[in-house]
Chains A and B, each alone.
Chain A
Amino acid sequence: QDQTPIALEDGWRDMEAGIARLKRILHGVDGTSFTSQEYINLYTMIFNMCTQKPPYDYSEQLYKRYKQALEEYIKSTVLPSLKSKHGEFLLRELVERWKNHKVMVRWLTRFFHYLDRYYVSRKLLLPLKELGLSCFHDLVFGGLKTTLTTIVIDMVDNEREGQLIDRALLKDVVGIYLEIGQGSVGLYELDFEKAFCKGTTDYYSKKAQIWMLEDSCPEYMLKVEDSLQKEKERVGHYLHASTEEKLLEGTILELISWRAEEILYKENSGCRVLLLDGKYEDLSRMYRLFSKIDAGLFHVSKIFKEHVKEEGMSLLKHAADAANGTKNEKKEAVGSPEQEFVRKAIELHDKQLAYVTNCFQNNSAFHKALKAAFEDFCNKDVAGCTSAESLASFCDSILRKGGSEKLSDEVVEDTFDKVVTILSYISDKDLFVEFHRKKLGKRLLFDKSANNEHERSLLSKLKQYFGGQFTAKMEGMLNDVSTARDHQTAFEEYMRDKLPNHRVDFSVTVLTTGFWPSYKTSNINLPSEMIKCVEIFKDYYNSKQKSKRLTWIYSMGNCNIVAKFDAKPIELIVTTYQAAMLLLFNGSERLSYSEIVTQLNLPDDDAVRLLHSLSCAKYKILNKVPSNRIISPNDVFQVNHKFIDKMRRIKVPLPPTDEKKKVVEDVNKDRRFSIDASIVRIMKSRKVMGHQQLVAECVEQLSRMFKPDIKIIKRRIEDLISREYLERDLETANTYRYLA
């Protein structure tokens, strides 16, 4: 307090002694650390020299000398030691020297602490610690950092090549960058990270080149995945966490982004090949890797789509070849080429969907690609048949007798689910419904339906997916058949009662108009036995349902008739028309074509078909004179008494007329009505609408059932204009108005 002020040089001498002792401690010469007393003395010395009254307050000088002390030490000792070292040794030396420096700074800041309390803040100067560290930065680090970074990068590259390196050392070196930045990563990023990342991309750029040349696609991808994993771990071992993102980004760029096309389209091992060969693991890896880059998955999904499309197109080609009877088609196919196509398409879908689920993580882009590919080829014709008809034909093959009895219910249900999936890709859904309905009619009327439960199950799946209007008529058909069965017992009783001597078993199915397809029928002259049956049913029916009117469709009936040939009697399963024709011969041994036509009252095309089936086909029930295979109006027919077959009962088929054209015509007609209705509905609610908009909405509304032809929509609009439902707006071009 009241002592004489300490002279600067005096006080400084003490400090220097302390500093010298500190150096000895650092160099390991002096084992013992500072005692509390020593520390207090030094601290107090500074305190006194700072708190002395001017001109004896030496804060400024002391601050300067603090810095000088450090600088002098660095220049005399640290720098020379570093100069002589290279590579890893340099790193080690630096780490050591840095450690020492930190210790030195720590002690000195404690000694000189009083400066921090008042002088530094008053003069807005760098605090002692910062000042101390910045000395190291300015004198040592600044000049070395480029060299250091290069050495580190070399070491890391060696590690990448498989060598073992001193990770702890690298961690320490990186630590210096971080610490010298004193809390911010700015220095680290600028002086180290940038160059390191560049070094990394250079490394992988070279690697990518080599791997591309030497490796297959899967091998390459494995290496990429491995590299990414390693780099990630590297960050954990000795880099700052913030580097991870940039490091991986750069690596991904070099290994995947710039090489994307090469990887995907690599000959003999690229994406397409992996898909063909069912390489699940590799494809999963591909998905993982490509999801890391912009539009990466877009490219993969594009290849996937093309792949599925091509597979589909090749199925179509197979079907076409099989239909043309081209060689090289294996005869393992069951059923027609169209049915085989559907079966294979379902398999293809399952397989490709598995990819989407297992490899592509159910990503929506891949679901879309699958959908687009299927929509593409599923709307093309299959061996001359529309895909809608092919699908209906496939369903028919399962639902008819002999189709699926061997299959379990589960398999059948599953198949139906797949049918619904395929149908969702077909735009002409209404065409499918119509074919299905027609075939259902045939199955039901000719007792060919294997399993009623199955029929209903498929209908309910269709209803669920596409709506009730889809299936209402067909459900009605099934109901009609089950109703007929219910009534049959009551009718048989009635018939026995009224006609006790009648020996014909007779059953009738009453079809509700509108549910069933329209069937052509003619006014054939039935034999009297059949007429009796018909009359008795009419009576029965009228007694039950007075208000309903029956129209008889004999063309769809069938009949079991016993023919007594010379060798043995054989039961013939024929259509009603065929039976009527055969029964004529009960009255005459020989009949000419014209007699037959007149007596039966048949149109010529029906007569020709029937006669052909009975005289020129597999079973010659009738003999024809002349005996060629063409029915002509001059032919004469008689019973073939010598007919024989090993079976007791045979079916004499009547080949069906081709109804394809009619189905398509009917569907087109319905479509015109639907389009009209849709247009009117839209215009009624909107009153005024532009042409493009109207067309677009119309297409949208109808898309559930079919894809309307824009040209046809246009013509319907014109038709509606001429029928005065709409008019063209006089002021605005391309616009229509609704006429109430």
Chain B
Amino acid sequence: QHKLGRGSRDKVQQFMAITGASEKVALQALKASDWHLEGSFDYFYSQPQISVTNSRHLEDLYSRYKERDADMIMVEGTSQLCNDLLVDPQDVVMLVISWHMKAATMCEFTRQEFIDGLQSIGVDSIEKLREKLPSLRAEIKDDNKFREIYNFAFAWAREKGQKSLPLETAIGMWRLLFAERHWPLIDHWCQFLQVRHNKAISRDTWSQLLEFVKTIDPQLSNYDEEGAWPYLIDEFVEYLTENGCVQRNK
């Protein structure tokens, strides 16, 4: 972090006052124009992606949802947020939003997470966020984004201080995530876990499952049991074979 000289700080303030943009954006624009204020405006308005978010609005928004006696948005606030957005708290879009926010824990947002997150989405009001909901939901369908969101979900859904994900939570998350992605074996997988496993899910299993979904066909014809798959997935394959759900040519 470099210290800004007085003149630069002034320019930043001016920029923010005029455009209503955040300090971050101000810095970016000024740097891009070599600290010429006029040039920075040109830069700013010629960048379509830099949406106009008003930091004051964002502060207000945060205050609306934050806990009374803590600098965090917790369950109540999250619930209120969902209400205002007219979405079910179980809606996958909440996961996507949390991902944008890099939220550490489900149903909790720090000030930083909340504000930076909304900024990166490019909104500063509930209405604007509501408008963005369809496009946010659609991000699930993008392969690369899905992978990031999927892997993010593990740590996010975990209890604080725990290494693994409780089975119930994991199943819930999987159902949520794969609802949009159509994995034909999702029901078998969840059933298998409840019948045979009954323990928490490790991170390795979580991330490897995605690989499994992506690379192995529903008849499991290209599954190599001598490969490096986690044992739980090996057992799943055995389970499917035993129950005649797939025909594997050994």
Contact = CB atoms under 8 A, between A and B. Distances in A.
Contacts of A692: 226-227
A734 B227 contact: yes
B145 interface: no
A721 interface: yes
B204 A715 contact: no
B4 interface: no
Contact of A714 (B163, B205, B231): B231
Contacts of B205: 718
Contacts of B228: 691, 714, 717, 728, 733-736
Contacts of B234: 711, 714
A722 interface: yes
A722 B227 contact: no
A722 B163 contact: yes
Interface in A672-721: 691-692, 711, 714-715, 717-718, 721
Interface string A49-73: 0000000000000000000000000
Contact of A718 (B163, B202, B211, B227): B202
Interface in B147-186: 163-164
A178 B228 CA distance: 72
A691 B225 CA distance: 11
Nearest to B228: A691
Contacts of A721: 202, 204
Interface in B190-220: 202-205, 208, 211
A728 B227 contact: no
A203 to B, nearest CB: 52
Contacts of B39: none
Contacts of B211: 733
Given A718-B204, A721-B204, A722-B202, A691 B227 contact: yes
Most buried by A among B163, B208, B211, B226: B226
A611 B228 CA distance: 55
A718 B205 CA distance: 9
A627 B211 CA distance: 68
Contacts of B204: 718, 721-722, 728
A728 B206 CA distance: 13
A718 B230 contact: yes
Contacts of A728: 204, 208, 228
Interface string A719-740: 0011000001000011110000
Interface in B70-87: none
Contacts of A717: 228
B224 to A, nearest CB: 8
Interface of A: 691-692, 711, 714-715, 717-718, 721-722, 728, 733-736
Given A715-B231, A734-B228, 18 more contacts: A691-B228, A692-B227, A711-B231, A711-B234, A714-B231, A718-B202, A718-B204, A718-B230, A718-B231, A721-B202, A721-B204, A722-B163, A722-B164, A722-B203, A728-B228, A733-B228, A734-B227, A736-B228
21 contacts: A691-B226, A691-B228, A692-B227, A711-B231, A714-B231, A714-B234, A718-B202, A718-B205, A718-B230, A721-B202, A721-B204, A722-B164, A722-B202, A722-B204, A728-B204, A728-B228, A733-B211, A733-B227, A734-B227, A734-B228, A736-B228
3 A-B pairs closest in CB distance: A691-B228, A734-B228, A721-B204
